[in-house]
Structure 1
Amino acid sequence: MKEGDVIFESEVFSHVINPDIASQVVYYCDKRCQAGGWGAHKVECNFISSVKPHVPPPTGRHVIRTLIRLKQGGDKEYEVLPDGSHRMFDTLMTHEEDIKKDSVRVEAFAYYLKMVQMCFGDSSYTADFVFKVFCRLMINSVEINDNMFRSIGTGLYLNLRNAFFRIIFI
């Protein structure tokens, strides 16, 4: 392996980029990402507009974006792992019982569930289904950094084997 070699590459399943100063809500890294994200953002945008001047927190937006992705066929998408097996969203670990014991995360979930209900309507998703999505995001998402290693968002990649990993630069 030499300097500059790509050691890992994956398409993001769902993500949220931290807001920029101008929009305070949605930011895209470039025009290609903006065009690719429009399908999910048009649903999200209606919700964001309805709660102005409030700005929905990134984790709540990530839950909403993931639900949109699942509804648009993401529930059937998979990544092939190095061992040849397939990983889908619903096969990701949830650690539900551990999260249920964490009062801070339970309180956060209650808030995000209200956001989901405001965005999609009260009867669109069961609380149990949204909780499983929330748990999968809490356990399997990773920080997205720019080229200066500043945190710019959070993403979920189906083909990461573990939630924690380290990249060493030599």
Structure 2
Amino acid sequence: MEQMFTIGKIVNTHGVKGEVRVLPSTDDVKRFGKLKEIIVQNRTEITKEIETVRYHKNFVLLKFKGIDTMDEAELLKNSTLKINRKDALPLKEDEYYQCDLYGIQVITEEGRDLGELTDILVTGSNDVYVVQSAQKEILIPAIKQCILKVDIANRQMIVHLLEGLEDLS
């Protein structure tokens, strides 16, 4: 299980006082306001204390303690922002961190092994899980009618294939 989650990427500086412009990769951008520090990963990993958080259009503007000029902020450009799992937003019932689903074995309710979850397609209405076996790729909608049980600890997902999906497997 991943112990660190990526929640954004520094794409540029903002202004002359050391702020950076972050493209968030988290469902809840307001979560940046709840953080006191964040891990900045480029060639190395360093923990930075967050001084201020502002929101501008689709970006998050962060000011780190000790970064006070545009030149200092420029050195952080293209860095990935990560948090520890313990700092992640809590999950509701039947919710999972996407990184925990990759590589999980997908099995039908009858016990037939469909393969491994290799990708998650984010659509407007619901996610779609891409399951890859040696023979083919199967797309399974991430809805309660299809996803019966997810066991992260044992790396297993039990699914019900809706009519029409059965023909593809």
Q: TM-score range by the shorter chain?
A: under 0.3
Higher-Rg structure is 2
If asked which structure has higher relative contact order (CA below 8 Å, sep 6+), I would say: 1
Task: Decide which structure has greater helix share.
Answer: 1
Task: Decide which structure has greater strand share.
Answer: 2
